[in-house]
Amino acid sequence: MNSQLPDQTDIKILDLLQDDFPLTSFPYRELAEKAGISEQEFINRSSSLQKAGILRSISPVLESETLGMNAGTLIAFHLPEERIHEIATLVNSFPEVTHNFIRDNYYSLWFTLIGKDMESLNELLVKILEVTGIPEDDVLNLISVKKYKADVRFPL
């Protein structure tokens, strides 16, 4: 499909793949039936969608608390505009950073950190501030207190 936009069938496939994946020997066959296409077409199209960069992967969503990742925070930086991309790249290099976005606000760089406890997160933040040279006054450290919902499913 190269640079072509996904068609109706592709959208249907992406939609089905956003549900919990069937735990069976021939899972694509089951999904293909729902999409009204053959198993082989489902597999070929999924593979093309991945090559086109639309489908990143079919992978597990892990439960953070069960794995001992009990602390999370959202950090916002106020930055001079000319440094935004340089700082964003530095921030990305930390594996504990899971999401990083430039947003339209006085605080322009917003990223999430995850770790086993608050202590390790604080140590990490100190390290990030050292590496980037951002003064503490220009930082918001918005520690997460409670998760009400986390269900990424894009409306297609």
Partner 1 sequence: MDSVDITLIKELEKGLPFHAQPFSLIGERVGISEDEVLDRIRHLKKTGVIRKIKARISQRKVGVTANALVAWNVHDADREKTGHLLSAFPGVTHCYERVSIPGKWEYSLYTVHHGYEKEIVTEEIRSMAKQIGIEQYIILFSTEECKRVPHVRIGFSGENL
Site for partner 1 in 36-55 (CB under 8 A): 39, 43-44, 46-47, 50, 52-55
64 binds partner 1 (CB under 8 A): yes
Tell me the C-alpha distance between 60 and 133, whole Å: 36
Give the one residue of 101, 117, 123, 131 binding partner 1; rule: CB under 8 A.
Answer: 101
155 binds partner 1 (CB under 8 A): yes
In this structure, what token pair is assigned to residue 94? 């930390």
Tokens 């202590």 found at: 119
Site for partner 1 in 110-129 (CB under 8 A): 110-111, 114
Give the one residue of 21, 120, 122, 132 binding partner 1; rule: CB under 8 A.
Answer: 21
In this structure, what token pair is assigned to residue 53? 């960069």
Tokens 């602390």 found at: 71
- Least distance (Å) from partner 1 to the CB of residue 135? 14
149 binds partner 1 (CB under 8 A): yes
Tokens 């994946």 found at: 21
- Least distance (Å) from partner 1 to the CB of residue 133? 18
- 78 within 8 A of 106, measured Cβ to Cβ: yes
80 binds partner 1 (CB under 8 A): no
CB burial string 86-107: b at 16+ within 10 A, e below: ebbebbeeeebbeebeeeeeee
Give the one residue of 20, 82, 130, 136 binding partner 1; rule: CB under 8 A.
Answer: 20
